[in-house]
Chain A
């Protein structure tokens, strides 16, 4: 698989933004070491496809577009009625094998990791930062760990996933590569007002 090149390479500058001292209210980092696989099926055969995936990934397949299932370093999102995203580490051998294997006629499997930029937003003000543009309530009571939402920020389509650990505000934002720089400009501009830190890409 070709080496992934960051869409943010020209604008990504680790360091403090906004307040130069004190604790960072938001911590931003790009997650480069991720892969993302899309699995699409057909209505009549999708339940059977899910059963096969459950056996392969050793976990349940989510039944709705509200909660992801995270297991063994992977997160599975039901992004449409018969469409799944499986996110995992870039060196996830199972996912890499899965993409290269012929899926048969019941599924279309596509590696789409290079078409998405993943930005992690963490810190005490992470929710405040995202809600400056995201029309989804991110309060823990209605958006707990593994909740996700496909929505729009600054007219840019995003998928926002609340990751662990429990009790902390950590969100992974999946942005289409074409809009990654625009999203990053919006994110860092709003983060400046709150005071934050940009960490080295993971």
Chain B
């Protein structure tokens, strides 16, 4: 069970959150009709061992989307920031 420190509500239990997917992967421009790029963006995911940037929504709390950096081996959470304060390109920790 994860405990995620919501920037607005404090540290809360995983049951309050919904996983929103890989935060590091972006999508092509809507005008981009290249099927391979869209297939890659929609279906293909890395399965990294270690640091992973991901989106979570505090669905039963403040309803805000969060960028979370989590270690997939230890489940240790390194950082949590509001998604609106971090660009997807930069990642959850601003790097």
Contacts and interface: CB of A to CB of B under 8 A. Distances in A.
Contact of A150 (B13, B15, B60, B82): B60
B89 interface: no
B16 A152 contact: yes
A64 B8 contact: yes
Contacts of B13: 135-136, 151
- Chain A contact-residue range equals 10 to 19
Nearest to A152: B60
Interface in B8-43: 8-10, 12-13, 15-16
Interface of B: 6, 8-10, 12-13, 15-16, 60-64, 82
A14 interface: no
- SS class of chain A's interface: helix, strand, loop or mixed? strand
Given A81-B82, A135-B15, A135-B16, A150 B64 contact: no
A157 B60 contact: yes
Contact of B9 (A83, A135, A149, A157): A149
Contacts of B8: 64-65, 78, 80-81
